[in-house]
Copies of this chain bind each other. A is one copy, B any other.
């Protein structure tokens, strides 16, 4: 079967179904609510949001497959000829758990095709623990590396560095979390690249399940909850100030509620909040930097 953009979209749609089913089973209480939407210029999507679960306070799993004539700002940004016809499809996930013991987790895989000729894949998966624990970070990076290694031996090293640079809150000089992988404009063997992005997606639920099993019944204090709300504030800062997908969506009249489903139900900002010396919060901050080799942590 020919690997048309439409076929790739179908595979991503199935991926969304699999992930939603897996997350519902993991949560054990809440169900995804679906909003189907159509794009004015062509195509549409299925936004699925889960709220008030046992485990998840707010989670969104978006699928979209949109096409049409690229806006001028976009052809400029992508250095493409004017009036190019595009087809873009992808799955995007952000989970915000109730418990500060559980991490925020994000994943995105996408395929972009221009005029039925040029095409590429992009994506990433990264973890934002409210409390960074080296063994958890090592598990995440090792799992992601295993997926990468099954596809190309240099993917993990290249894309881990890319994630460190991308998921960076420049004005705080902090990484968003412990990173993971990020890549864009990936070209080559189309079947192999599609399989790679699907494999990333299929590892999302098992990774989150690992943390759920470890932390879902662990209690937390009010102070830990407060710290979670501060870290969520940083997440909001990253997504609104830097995130390329969010910026692109806001600038191109995307469906706002689908774009901003990545924001947590609640986030807090306390003026000049300082962590206590040698506290788990201070330790977490010390880990929010680039170029940590988590496989050896």
- A134-B161 Cα distance, complex, nearest whole Å: 54
Q: Is A292 an interface residue (CB 8 A)?
A: no
Q: Is A77 an interface residue (CB 8 A)?
A: no
Q: Which of A162-192 contact B (CB under 8 A)?
A: 170-172
Q: Is A272 an interface residue (CB 8 A)?
A: yes
Q: Are B58 and A256 in contact (CB under 8 A)?
A: no
Binds B, one of A79-87, A122-130, A260-268: A260-268
Q: Are B256 and A250 in contact (CB under 8 A)?
A: no
Q: Are A257 and B272 in contact (CB under 8 A)?
A: yes
Q: How far is the CB of A51 from chain B (nearest CB, A)?
A: 7
Q: Which of A137-171 contact B (CB under 8 A)?
A: 170-171
Q: Is A35 an interface residue (CB 8 A)?
A: yes
Residue of A170, A240, A259 with highest tally of chain B CB at under 10 A:
A240
Chain B, Cβ-Cβ closest to A247? B241
Q: Is A233 an interface residue (CB 8 A)?
A: yes
Q: How far is the CB of A270 from chain B (nearest CB, A)?
A: 7
Residues of B within 8 A of A271 (CB): 49, 51, 58, 60, 257, 261
Q: How many chain A residues touch the partner (CB < 8 A)?
A: 31
- A165-B271 Cα distance, complex, nearest whole Å: 29
Q: How far is the CB of A112 from chain B (nearest CB, A)?
A: 22
Q: Which of A39-61 contact B (CB under 8 A)?
A: 49, 51, 58, 60
Q: Are A266 and B267 in contact (CB under 8 A)?
A: yes
Across the interface, A250 reaches (CB within 8 A) one of B241, B269, B272, namely B241
Chain B, Cβ-Cβ closest to A252? B171
Residues of B within 8 A of A266 (CB): 229, 266-269
- A170-B253 Cα distance, complex, nearest whole Å: 9
Task: List 5 A–B pairs whose Cβ atoms lie within 8 Å, in order of A's numbering.
Answer: A58-B271, A171-B253, A171-B259, A261-B271, A267-B269
Extra A-B contacts (9), CB below 8 Å, given A241-B241, A260-B269: A58-B271, A60-B271, A257-B271, A261-B271, A263-B269, A264-B269, A265-B268, A266-B266, A267-B269
Q: Which residues of A contact B (CB under 8 A)?
A: 35, 49, 51, 58, 60, 170-172, 229, 233, 236-237, 240-241, 250, 253, 256-257, 259-261, 263-272
Which 5 pairs, one residue from A and one from B, show the smallest C-beta to C-beta distance? A240-B240, A263-B269, A171-B250, A257-B272, A49-B271
